[in-house]
Amino acid sequence: MPQPTKKVYSSLELIKDSWFLIKGYRLKFVFYSFICVLSSLMPFVIAYCLGQIVDFFVGYSSGQSFISFYSFVGIIAAAGVFQIWSRFFVKWRLYYIGGQLRMKIRVMAMAKLADIELKWHEKEETGSKIQKIASGGESFFQLLKFYIDSGIPIVTGIVGGLVALFFMDAKYVIFTAAYIVIYLTGEYYFNKKIAYWADRLNVIKEKLSGKIHETASNILAVKTLGIKSALKKSVEDYEREYFETTLKNREANQNKFRTIKIFSALVYAAFIFLIGKDIIAGIISVGSIVIFVGYFDRIKSALDNITNHVTDFIELKSGFGRIMILLDKKTIEKDSYPYLDISPEWQALKFDKVGFKYKDKWIFKNLDISIKRGEKVGIVGRSGTGKSTIAKLLLGLYEPQKGGIKIDDMDILNAKNSSLTKTISIVLQDSEMFNMSLKENVTITSGKDIDSLTFQKAVQTAELEELINRLPQKENTLIGERGYKVSGGERQRIGIARAIYKNSDVLVLDEATSHLDSKTESAIQNNLKSLLEDKTVIIIAHRLSTLKDVDRIIVLDNGKVIEEGSFDKLLRDKGKFYELYKLQRSRGAI
C-alpha cells in the first residue's frame, strides 16, 4: 500500500481555513446558520405534538373539548411551514455566499500562483495546478452545501434528540448516548481508511490532469519526438491506478455500510422493545412511543446521514485541502511595507560574494560582479556556467544562499517586487507569448493605458515593422497559442520590443537575439545603441560578435569570473576569450 506523502487534511484545519475564507460574510453566515438550526429542530416539535395528539385520543372521553387537539395541529402546521420557508430562504442565501466565495477562492489562488516562489512551480505540473484550483474552488462550494444540507441537520438531530429525550426520560438518554458513541467510533475507524483513499484519489487526479495538460500543450514536441505511445502508457498507468484506488475506496465504504447499518437496525429494534416494556409496565403513556421513537428516529437519521454523506465530505475536504496547499504557501506580499522602493538615482549594481545552488550543485560559490549605472556589459561563458542564472537572480526569482545582490547598498530582496521589475527588464532566449494581439503582447506591462508612440518606437527598434505589415490585422493580429504562429526569431523580436516599451533602467538580454540572422541582429543593435545610451545594458551571448560594442566583457567559467575587459583588451590578452573568438572565427560564426 502506498504511504501518504503528507498527513490528511484535518477537519480542524478545514474549520480554521473556512472561517478565514468567509471573512466579510461571517455575520450573515452565523445568522443564516442559526435559522437553519431552528428549521432542523422543527421535526422534534412535530413529533412532540403527534405524541400529545395520540395521548389526547387515547384518554378522550366524550364531551371533552377539542381545543388542545386543534392547538397541536396548528403548531404542526406552523412548524411545517417554517421548515419549508426557511429552507428556501436561508439555503438560497447561503448558496449565494458559497458561489461568491468559490469565485473569490479561485481568483485568490490564481493570484497566489504568481507570488509563490519559482522553486515550487518547477516541481509542480501545470495541469496539476489547474486541477487544484478548479476542483479546490468547487470543493469549497460543495462543502458549504454539505454544511447546510447535512452538517446542520446532523448536529441538531443528535444534540436536539439527546436533549429532548433527557427531558422525557433520562434512562433513554444513556441508551441512546451509548448507541451514538459506538456508532461514531465505528465511523471514525472506517473513515480513516476512506480518507486515505480519498486523498490518494485527489493526488492521482492531479497527476493525471498534469500529464494530459503536458501532452496537450507540448503537442508539437510529442509529435516530432514520436513519444505518443510512452505518454499514452503513463496516462494509462495513472488511469489504472485511479481505477484501482476507486475500487479500494468503494470496498472500504461497503465494509463500513454493512457493519454500521446492521448494528443500527438492531439498536432501533431494541429501543422500541424498551419503550414497549415501559408502556406495558405503565411507566409511560401510549403517546410517548410516538414521541420517543420520533426523537430516536431523528438521531438515527442524523447518524445515517453521516454514514451516507461522510465519504463525499471526506473527498470534498481533501479537494479543499489541495487548494489550501496553494493558498497556504508562505508568500510574502513583496509590494507592501517593509519592502522598499529602489531609488531612481541608484548608481551601481553589485553581486556581492554570491553563493547560489538550485539543489545540491553550487552554480556560484563566491561571485563578485559590479556594474555601474549606464555601463554596457557583456557576459560570456560555456553553456551551463550560470549566465541565465545571473539574470534570474537579478530579478529576485531565486534567493542566493550566500552573499547578496545589491542596488547601491540595498539588497534586492528588500526591494518591492514592483519596483524591481520596473527597474530591471529581462529578455530571455524564448519570450513567452500570451494569447493576445501582437500589440497587447508588447504593451502588456502597461495594461490598458497603451502609449502608442512608445509602442511605435519599440516596434521600429526591434525591427518588427516588416512582420506587422505581413500580418492580416497588422499589430492587432492575435498571436500566441490560438493565434498566428510567430517564428522563434519573431518571438525574440517581440520580446525585445516588450522590454523597450517597458523602458526600465536596466536591460538584460539573455541570448535574446540568438535566433536572428546576423543582418537583423546588427540592425537591432544599431537601433538600440542610441535608444539605450543612458541605460544599463547586460548582454549575455554566445555569438561574440554581438558583444563588440560593449564597454566591458565578463568571461565566466566554473561559476567564477576568469577574465574581464573590453573586447579589444581581451583579444590582446590572448586568454580564454581569445581562444573562443579564434574558434568562432575559424568556423565562420563571426
Ligand X SMILES: Nc1ncnc2c1ncn2[C@@H]1O[C@H](COP(=O)(O)OP(=O)(O)OP(=O)(O)O)[C@@H](O)[C@H]1O
Please identify, using beta-carbon distances, which residue of 122 and 409 lies nearer to ligand X: 122
Q: How far apart are CA 170 and CA 164, in angstroms?
A: 10
Instruction: State the minimum distance, in angstroms, from the CB of residue 388 to ligand X.
Output: 3
The span of 5-13, 139-147, 200-208, 384-392 binding Mg ion (CB under 5 A) equals 384-392
Reduced to 3 states (helix: H, G, I; strand: E, B; else coil), residue 472 is: coil
Instruction: State the minimum distance, in angstroms, from the CB of residue 122 to ligand X.
Output: 5
Please identify, using beta-carbon distances, which residue of 387 and 493 lies nearer to Mg ion: 387
Is the Cβ–Cβ distance between 105 and 327 less than 8 Å? yes
Q: Which of residues 211-270 bind Mg ion (CB under 5 A)?
A: none
Please identify, using beta-carbon distances, which residue of 343 and 558 lies nearer to ligand X: 558
Please compute, for residue 491, the number of CA atoms within 13 A of its CA located in the half-sphere on the CB side: 18
Please identify, using beta-carbon distances, which residue of 70 and 358 lies nearer to ligand X: 358
Please identify, using beta-carbon distances, which residue of 285 and 429 lies nearer to ligand X: 429
Q: How far apart are CA 44 and CA 479, in angstroms?
A: 65
Binding mask 386-415 for ligand X (x = CB under 6 A): xxxx--------------------------
Instruction: State the minimum distance, in angstroms, from the CB of residue 131 to Mg ion.
Output: 31
Count of positions on this chain that bind ligand X (CB under 6 A):
12
Which residue in 142, 150, 311, 385 binds ligand X (CB under 6 A)?
Answer: 385
Which residue in 388, 417, 461, 504 binds Mg ion (CB under 5 A)?
Answer: 388
Place of cell 553581486: 351
Please identify, using beta-carbon distances, which residue of 90 and 539 lies nearer to ligand X: 539
Instruction: State the minimum distance, in angstroms, from the CB of residue 510 to ligand X.
Output: 7
Q: With the C-alpha atoms ordered 234, 235, 240, 246, is the resulting torsion angle positive or negative?
A: positive
Please identify, using beta-carbon distances, which residue of 207 and 387 lies nearer to Mg ion: 387
Place of cell 530579478: 395
Instruction: State the minimum distance, in angstroms, from the CB of residue 511 to Mg ion.
Output: 6
Q: Which of residues 122-161 bind ligand X (CB under 6 A)?
A: 122
**197-225 as b/e: b if 16+ CB within 10 A:** bbbbbbbbbbbbbbbbbbbeeeeeebeee
The span of 54-62, 140-148, 381-389, 450-458 binding ligand X (CB under 6 A) equals 381-389
Instruction: State the minimum distance, in angstroms, from the CB of residue 506 to ligand X.
Output: 18
Cα 355 from chain centre:
31
Is the Cβ–Cβ distance between 62 and 110 less than 8 Å? no
Q: How far apart are CA 214 and CA 225, in angstroms?
A: 14
Q: By CB neighbour count within 10 A (0-12 exposed, 13-18 middle, 19+ buried), where does 392 fall?
A: middle
Q: Going by C-beta distance under 8 Å and a sequence separation of 6 or more, which residues neighbour residue 199?
A: 4, 8, 9, 318, 321
Please identify, using beta-carbon distances, which residue of 122 and 534 lies nearer to ligand X: 122
Count of positions on this chain that bind Mg ion (CB under 5 A):
2
Instruction: State the minimum distance, in angstroms, from the CB of residue 230 to ligand X.
Output: 23
Q: Which of residues 106-125 bind ligand X (CB under 6 A)?
A: 122
The span of 228-236, 298-306, 330-338, 376-384 binding ligand X (CB under 6 A) equals 376-384
Q: By CB neighbour count within 10 A (0-12 exposed, 13-18 middle, 19+ buried), where does 41 fall?
A: buried
Q: Is 385 in the site for Mg ion (CB under 5 A)?
A: no
Please identify, using beta-carbon distances, which residue of 91 and 560 lies nearer to ligand X: 560
Q: How far apart are CA 28 and CA 26, in angstroms?
A: 6
Q: How far apart are CA 388 and CA 258, in angstroms?
A: 61
Q: With the C-alpha atoms ordered 179, 181, 186, 188, is the resulting torsion angle positive or negative?
A: positive
To the nearest 10°, report the CA torsion of 518, 523, 529, 535. -70
Please identify, using beta-carbon distances, which residue of 211 and 387 lies nearer to Mg ion: 387
Phi, psi of 21 (to 5 degrees): -70, -30
Binding mask 336-365 for ligand X (x = CB under 6 A): ----------------------xx---x--
Contacts with Mg ion by CB under 5 A lie at 387-388
Contacts with ligand X by CB under 6 A lie at 122, 358-359, 363, 381, 383-389
